[in-house]
Amino acid sequence: MTDRRRINGPSSGTIVPTFISSTSSSQRPNRTRQPDELRKIFLKTGVTPSAPGSAYLELSPSSTSSAPTLVPTSSNLKITCTVHGPRPLPRSVPFSPQLVLSTNVKFAPFATRKRRGYVRDSTERDLGQHLESALRGVIIGERWSKSGVDVVITILEGEESCWWGDEGGLVGADGRAGSANGSCGLMSVLAGCITVASAALVNAGIDCVGLVSGGVAAMVNNSLSSAEKRALGSASESSSVCVLDPSPPEHDGILRACVVAYIEARDEITEIWLKGEAGSPEETEQLTEKAVVAALASGVVLKAAVSGPTDEETFSEDVDMS
Amino acid sequence: MAATTVTQSLTFPPELFATLSPSPFLLAHLSSSSSTRPNGRTSSTFRKPTVNTNSLSHCNGSAVVRLGNTACVCGIRAEILPSSDVANPSYIPTSLTPESPDTNMADDDADNEDEDIDDGPEMASLNLLVPNIELSTGSSPAHLPGNPPSTLAQSLSQRLLDLLHSTRLIRAKDLRILYQPPLLEDDEEPDAEPTVEVKAYWVLYIDILFISLDGNAFDAAWGSVLAALKNTKLPKAWWDQDLGSILCSDAVAEANELTLRGLPVAATFAVFDTRRGKGMKGKTGSWVLADPDTFEEAQCEESVTVVVDDGGRIRRIEKSGGGVVGKAHLRDLVELSQRRREEWKQVLNI
């Protein structure tokens, strides 16, 4: 069914270009960072003057490809967030003693390798749910009864779940979910969403118990070729390594990944999302702790971004700690 | 206690005045001796545009344009429309002759020749340009997500599409993917002109997202489209007879840029008329405000958009909502638009 409120392309649809890999660009990007080193985060508040609160987050590209190519080997996350509210709920909404939080996450049509639609799909709604539970634990809802707040996130550039070379020799620009990495790219996106939403909430002056920041950790296969792995045989499990802030295109196989939303001031986790083959409870715990370390690191950037222009009383103690 | 409330109500800050009675607030500013608008500009001053291009890695071309507090991102993605999928192929040219690759260079003869070819029907009937404006990104409190595109977003998208087609900015030639069948050795007429067929077209999906909206969405959107188109690189594409599909090269050096026809620049004006606003009985006067912001747009009903191109050619005039701007006034606005075009030209580096 065509969307009559938008301008539609050719009725027969269009196909995504199929690229032939030239030898120069057909190499998987390598992780040049240390396992516990995050990508550089740029975070700025107040980018949307027409909204009460807003923030913009960008991750610097993790690896620069040697040859310029039309098929980007990796992408850098770019997220904007606006916060509207607190404002009175419409009359039709029943009484609520707490602040009604609604989150909305949308990818721009050009954000990913595969062009996105205009209407929110299940992935975006899922991300919105995760974000809502992450923020619900940090907002002091009792202070804003009968009010609502909208957190609107637009992802201008997302993160890919796999390297485009994993999709087969002749690769289209459509990034179907890579079998090896699952939807690990979404986890980095969620961590970014949590951090940027937290900054925008502070910018809007909404009372929070602390700053919540997102962090991702993943257990990845060590950079061994499959032949080497076979030689090691059963020792393949031990060749996995835990990395913070993984960039999925850089890794051949991500065994499991974990994203947390962490409030440093209270040492609380408000949201946790684990994916992949679950190991023993100890391994899971270890991975979660690593994700918290990543969240702490992005929390440093968050503090610096919000402590400048806004002088919220709620956050004074957090700022003092830094 | 009561006395303090009274004194407070007598002096209230300008923001409160603007919220309570916006039209008289605007009138008070405009009818003062200096005649500056509440945002500090004079009635004919535009906001200075800033442009940042090609920062998005998944786009063929992209631009971020900021006009004061209005900011938008334009991303262009190209996808392929095979000619075999076109339902009504009568617009696809059939009698193409192979050209040497350097005809699209800035050769005067070739340029003039190209101007004469009317590829408008080809572009329009095949829907090769797909502009869409998204306002509901929380860009302003009036545009929150969760609803279908507002009437403003719909009309802006349609105006962009109309302007793209009527200015014939993009050449159909740049969007064609051609295929020249190899000449067979036992051809009966060896002297016959080799024929070229259009195997496919590039379709440009032009998506404009507003990060922040403070009036004059159309000028910002059009500026971002211009900047993004100017920086769009289409990969080299060819028809592979063996695979039966189109293949592209990922080499940047082989990619083609679009050659645009001219540089039409849009300038929008809003007309503030005392006869229309509330609470201004007995006052007369009208002001034309260049590049209005959200506050001014809400007080003005009449608006004029002038699109001018090189050498003062007027490409489009859109006018609605009233009759204050007449023939003589319109001439001034065209003059202003031409100056505005120089400003954009500088920013776009053309």
Give residue B109's pLDDT: 43
The neighbour count for residue B278, using CB atoms within 10 Å, is: 10
Residues 280-319, chain B, touching A (beta carbon < 8 A): 294
Greater confidence (A215 vs B104) lies with A215
Q: Is A304 left (phi over 0), alpha (psi -120 to 50) or beta?
A: alpha
Report CB contact under 8 Å: A10, B203: yes
Give residue B288's pLDDT: 93
d(CA A130, CA A276): 17
Model confidence band, residue B31 (pLDDT cutoffs 50, 70, 90): confident
Q: Distance, in angstroms, between A188 CA and closest chain B CA? A: 17
Query: Counting beta carbons within 10 angstroms of the beta carbon of residue B37, is it exposed (0 to 12), middle (13 to 18) or buried (19 or more)?
Result: buried
Q: Is B168 left (phi over 0), alpha (psi -120 to 50) or beta?
A: left
Model confidence band, residue B344 (pLDDT cutoffs 50, 70, 90): very high
Report CB contact under 8 Å: A50, B212: yes
d(CA B136, CA B148): 9
- Average pLDDT, integer, range B329-338: 94
Asked if the ipTM is above 0.90, the reply is no
Q: Are A108 and B132 in contact (CB under 8 A)?
A: no
Report CB contact under 8 Å: A118, B235: no
Q: Distance, in angstroms, between B66 CA and closest chain A CA? A: 11
Model confidence band, residue B346 (pLDDT cutoffs 50, 70, 90): very high
Give residue A182's pLDDT: 63
Give residue A129's pLDDT: 95
Task: Tell whether B139 is within 8 A of chain A (Cβ).
Answer: yes
The neighbour count for residue A243, using CB atoms within 10 Å, is: 25
- Average pLDDT, integer, range B167-190: 80
Domain boundaries, chain A: 41-61+74-162+179-224+238-307
What is the pTM (predicted TM-score) of this model? Answer: 0.88
Give residue A104's pLDDT: 94
Report CB contact under 8 Å: B209, A82: no
DSSP-derived secondary structure for B188-252: S-TTSPPPBEEEEEEEEEEEEEEEE--S-HHHHHHHHHHHHHHT-EEPPEEEETTTTEEEEE-BT
Share of chain B above pLDDT 90, in %: 52
d(CA A293, CA A217): 9
What is the CATH number that goes with domain A41-61+74-162+179-224+238-307? 3.30.230.70
Which chain A positions have a beta carbon within 8 Å of B74's beta carbon? none
Q: Distance, in angstroms, between A122 CA and closest chain B CA? A: 14
What pLDDT, in 10s, does the model give residues B222-236?
Answer: 999 999 999 999 999
Task: Tell whether A1 is within 8 A of chain B (Cβ).
Answer: no
Share of chain A above pLDDT 90, in %: 48
What pLDDT, in 10s, does the model give residues A178-189?
Answer: 344 567 889 999
What pLDDT, in 10s, does the model give residues B76-129?
Answer: 999 999 998 888 888 888 767 665 444 444 444 444 555 557 788 888 889 999
Residues 198-217, chain B, touching A (beta carbon < 8 A): 203, 205, 207, 209, 211-214
What pLDDT, in 10s, does the model give residues A142-170?
Answer: 999 999 999 999 999 998 877 766 553 33
Q: Distance, in angstroms, between A248 CA and closest chain B CA? A: 16
Give residue B72's pLDDT: 95
| Per-position b or e across A98-120, b if 16+ CB within 10 A of its CB | ebbbbbbbbbbbbbbbebbeeeb
Report CB contact under 8 Å: B138, A150: yes
Domains within chain B, CATH numbers bracketed? 35-96+118-185+192-348 (3.30.230.70)
Residue holding tokens 């992802």? A155
